[in-house]
Amino acid sequence: MRHWLFGPRDKDAERPRGRPRPLTARAIATLAIAVVAALALPAGGAQAAPIPPAPGHRLVPQYEGAPATAAPLPADQAPPRHPYLAPNGRAGMHGDGAGSDTHPFPGPLGAQPAVRSEKMAALGGECATVTFDAGGRILTVCGTFRGFRLKLLDPGSLATLAEYKLPQRPSTIEAITRLDFSKIFKDTSGGAYFYLDDKDRVVLADSRGHVLRLGHSRTADGTWRFTLEDDWDLTPYVPHDCVSWPDPFPSGECDPVTAVQPDWQGRIWWVTRHGRLGTVTPGTGAVRTARLPGEEIQNSFSAAEDGVHIVSDHALYRLRADADGTPRVLWRQTYDRGTGPKPGSVNQGSGTTPTLLGRAGQDYVAITDNADDRMNVLVYRRGGPDADRLVCKVPVFGAGASTTDNSLIGYGNSLVVENNYGYENVTSLVGGKSVPGGLTRIDIRPDGSGCDTVWESAERSPSTVAKLSTVNGLLYFYTKGPHRLGIDAWYLTAVDFRSGHTRFKRLTGTGPAYDNNWAPITLGPDGTAYVGVFNGLVAVRDTAPPT
């Protein structure tokens, strides 16, 4: 997963010489006016309304394809349940601790699918990570110029049941004061990479450098509320001289915490943009730290029984905590980081959260590199000697147009990767533009001797964290093709996992408000597919029984 406009991400890396900024001066001025107008509105005044489509929504197909037939995948290939996370499929952006991007929920089959949306703010409002409590209610963080909001939503109506205000991020203040809105487009901090723990509590790092643990409950009058249960202050360990309204031009270092995740011993791990990482022991509040000098960490990370896997812009790491909680590197594997960022990547490094596959004795971890011509899918053995670690290196997509800034889908010994080359933010594809696109499935051979390409698809999924339903065997992408009349039409698209054939597409909406801007698709327990979009949240669900 990568950056959102009002959610992740802040890869403020150098841009290749001669490459234009994604926002023109005119676009900046227009957005600045909109920001001022949005800040002037009463809080919550733009809620409880559907996201408006842009002109042209009646001139494009509403539905293509035909309903699919569910073809379940073997349940024994799913990753093991993390003991300190909510059950698989409900725990976080990538569904589980292994970063598999799979869900044990059905997802729509395309049987008269209906679309519902909720506008979360006058401008922005994107709801990135979506999780579900034991009652099926949605827990999500939505970002606006007023700051992030942790929300409890009704899964059917998308109505807000409770809200918890999080501190405004420095990048928002910096964007407004300096008229540089690229700062917001590239900021991962503030709580978007949160997780839901085994007791249905949200754990996140806010923009102040605090790790928070929040519960939610129903009050005597039937309403819902959030309760702050724990607050661990990391500012003694993480530089936090960040832009603020009282001090818009600080002189010190600002290194915000971007992601949190527990290990299998219950410690809460955290990482920062500039290569700092550490643990919090919940029972004592003890904090232990380490650093990867000269490296950036701009992805989320994964955890299994054998350790925590983190990818920086230089290398892939496997780590464990010592008895006192201090992170210790077990191995480090460098990869081809190329000579600079590409359009569709935000820094000079891998764009993927590590994907963990297999079980003890036959365990793998997969990422992509940032090789200049064609990006490669890399699969490593998690155990064994370093000399025997690399299983395969498979180039994907077209020459000179190959990158991804989203995690791989991992199921059994299979990986699915999408091509994000050409997408940078919500302004990238307006006016009917699209990306080169492409999807590829790669399988690790049963004997571990290498990998093979199983199928390729020409679907164009510009920036979504795609998902796989193991219950019906469908992959879900958020696609946008080119349009000669300049209509920006966005579709929830289902692709057969086994064959790579597209089964159906359902229009969600038109225009930038429906651009998902790096947010994931999330499959809910009731079979609904949720997509975070620029202006809020979209839900797609079947209204007819399966055939």
The torsion defined by the Cα of 103, 366, 381 and 91, in degrees rounded to 10, comes to -30
What is the DSSP secondary structure assignment for residue 70, as one 8-state letter?
Answer: P
Percentage of the chain beyond pLDDT 90 is: 77
For residue 53, the one-letter residue type is P
Q: Give the C-alpha separation, 399 to 279, whole Å.
A: 41
Q: What is the pLDDT of residue 48?
A: 66
Task: State pLDDT tens for residues 402-420.
Answer: 999 999 999 999 999 999 9
Let me know: does 180 contact 164? Beta carbons within 8 Å: no
- Give the Cα-Cα-Cα angle 219, 224, 227 (nearest 5 degrees): 85
Mean pLDDT of the chain: 89
Pairing of strands 210-218, 224-233: antiparallel
- Structure tokens belonging to residue 33: 């006016």
Share of the chain above pLDDT 70, in %: 87
Q: Which of 204, 175, 198 lies closest to 187 in space, CA to CA?
A: 175
Under a CB-based contact definition with an 8 Å cutoff, are residues 97 and 513 in contact? no
Nearest to 154 by CA among 48, 300, 308: 48
pLDDT exceeds cutoff 50 at 501: yes
Are 207 and 169 in contact, with CB atoms under 8 Å apart?
A: yes
44 has a pLDDT exceeding 80: no
Q: Is 236 exposed, middle or buried (0-12, 13-18, 19+ CB in 10 A)?
A: exposed
- The C-alpha atoms of residue 259 and residue 294 are separated, in whole angstroms, by 19
Distance CA 518, CA 464 (A): 5
pLDDT band at 245 (very low <50, low <70, confident <90, very high): confident
- The three-point CA angle 508-511-517 to 5° equals 80
Strand 102-103, strand 529-533: pairing: unpaired
* Domains of the chain with bracketed CATH: 25-542 (2.130.10.10)
**pLDDT beyond 70 at 181:** no
d(CA 354, CA 303): 9
Question: Of all helices (H) and strands (E), which one includes residue 486?
Answer: none
Is it the case that residue 469 has pLDDT exceeding 50? yes
Which residues is 308 bridged to in the sheet? 303, 319
Phi-psi region at 200: left, alpha or beta (left = phi > 0; alpha = psi -120 to 50): left
pTM of the model: 0.92
Each residue's pLDDT tens digit, 140-179: 999 887 788 999 999 999 999 999 999 887 666 776 766 6
Q: How confident is the model at residue 244 (pLDDT cuts 50, 70, 90)?
A: confident
- Retrieve residue 268's tokens: 């809460």
